């Protein structure tokens, strides 16, 4: 007998056990609920489990739903699925389980009217090869970070000060991508859920004439969003320096070479990654989408799931 694919609730003990073996952080109840059970306006995530003949869940993936706004003129907004928290038990790897899950997730997204299936991966992740073999296009991204002990040549670009987190009208934070740019199109409450109501505390900083949202975990500051885009370079420098002064790690996620260069200027290490995109609009099944069809992208760390 081969493995079966089942849709399970996010509280399924066998699923949670396997997920937490691969990603211990996800053992936190608030963390798992935020990633696996939260609806930002396009439907709650769905969990797909790969079940062995003995009944053990050996691999799993969640699919989060978002609305995508293509930067290409003439392409309308549409529903997309985002692969979230994919995992495979160490002893069950090299069996093609993730490939099987991707096929089912793509069909499910397509069945709900979704036009794309997205995945955030690092360049050295084996999931990248699976997505490419399924026909995904690759859009370069960078995971930029620095440990608290990292050294660099400091360049003074101003200072950051905390502000009260009052985002009653987050519209000014939305649609910040310079056209044409592909972004997620949030409803207002969905944006608050994604950027403000996170498992770890979120602080609002004033940086020059702009503002930045930073998630503060136990050891790391994550730059979630900057507004307006014109202050992003200074924000990366200033907030990275602030984190270093407080002996904290710093992280930001970027989707363009110029923003990667700003992070490197600020002393961050830039780890290469990709946003993988499967075009689901074909009636014959998932097909690859040409890189020029959606790019460039304009996403922040706060957009990732």
pLDDT single digits (tens) 107-153: 999 999 999 999 999 999 888 999 999 889 999 999 999 986 655 44
Could you tell me the pLDDT band of residue 169, with boundaries at 50, 70 and 90? low
* pLDDT at site 281: 81
Instruction: Provide the whole-model pTM.
Output: 0.90
Cis peptide upstream of residue 267 (ω within 30 degrees of 0): no
* pLDDT at site 33: 92
Q: What is the CATH number of domain 144-271?
A: 3.40.630.30
Could you tell me the pLDDT band of residue 176, with boundaries at 50, 70 and 90? low
Segments of the chain assigned to CATH 3.40.630.30: 4-138+274-289, 144-271
234: nearest Cα among 159, 164, 135, 297 = 159
Please give the CATH topology (third level) of the domain spanning 4-138+274-289: Aminopeptidase (3.40.630)
pLDDT at 164 over 90: no
* pLDDT at site 212: 92
The DSSP bridge partners found for residue 249 are 220
* pLDDT at site 26: 83
Whole-Å CA distances, 145 to 4, 49, 86, 124, 226? 39, 32, 22, 17, 17
């Amino acid at each position: 007998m081969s493995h079966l694919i089942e849709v399970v609730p996010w509280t399924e003990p066998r699923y949670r056990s396997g997920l937490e073996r691969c990603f211990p952080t996800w053992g936190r109840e608030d963390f798992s609920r935020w990633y696996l059970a939260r609806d930002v306006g396009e439907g709650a995530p769905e969990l797909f489990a790969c079940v062995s003949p003995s009944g053990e869940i050996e691999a799993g993936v969640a699919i989060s739903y978002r609305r995508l706004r293509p930067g290409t003129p003439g392409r309308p907004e549409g529903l997309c699925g985002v692969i979230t928290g994919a995992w495979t038990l160490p002893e069950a790897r090299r069996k093609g389980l993730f490939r099987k899950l991707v096929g089912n997730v793509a069909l499910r997204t397509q069945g709900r009217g979704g036009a794309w299936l997205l995945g955030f991966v690092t360049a050295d992740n084996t999931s990248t090869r699976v997505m490419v073999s399924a026909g995904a296009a690759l859009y370069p991204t960078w995971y930029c970070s620095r440990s608290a002990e990292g050294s660099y040549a400091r360049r003074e670009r101003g200072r950051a000060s905390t502000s009260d987190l009052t985002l009653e009208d987050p519209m000014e934070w939305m649609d910040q991508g310079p056209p044409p740019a592909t972004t997620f199109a949030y409803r207002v409450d969905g944006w608050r859920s994604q950027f403000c109501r996170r498992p770890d505390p979120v602080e609002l900083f004033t940086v020059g004439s702009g503002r930045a949202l930073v998630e503060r975990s136990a050891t790391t500051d994550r730059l979630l969003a900057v507004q307006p885009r014109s202050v992003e370079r200074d924000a990366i420098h200033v907030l990275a320096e602030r984190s270093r002064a407080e002996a904290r790690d710093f992280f930001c996620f970027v989707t363009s070479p110029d923003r990667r260069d700003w992070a490197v200027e600020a002393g961050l290490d830039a780890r290469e990654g990709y946003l993988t995109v499967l075009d689901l609009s074909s009636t014959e099944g998932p097909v690859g989408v040409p890189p020029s069809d959606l790019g460039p992208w304009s996403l922040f760390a706060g957009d990732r799931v």
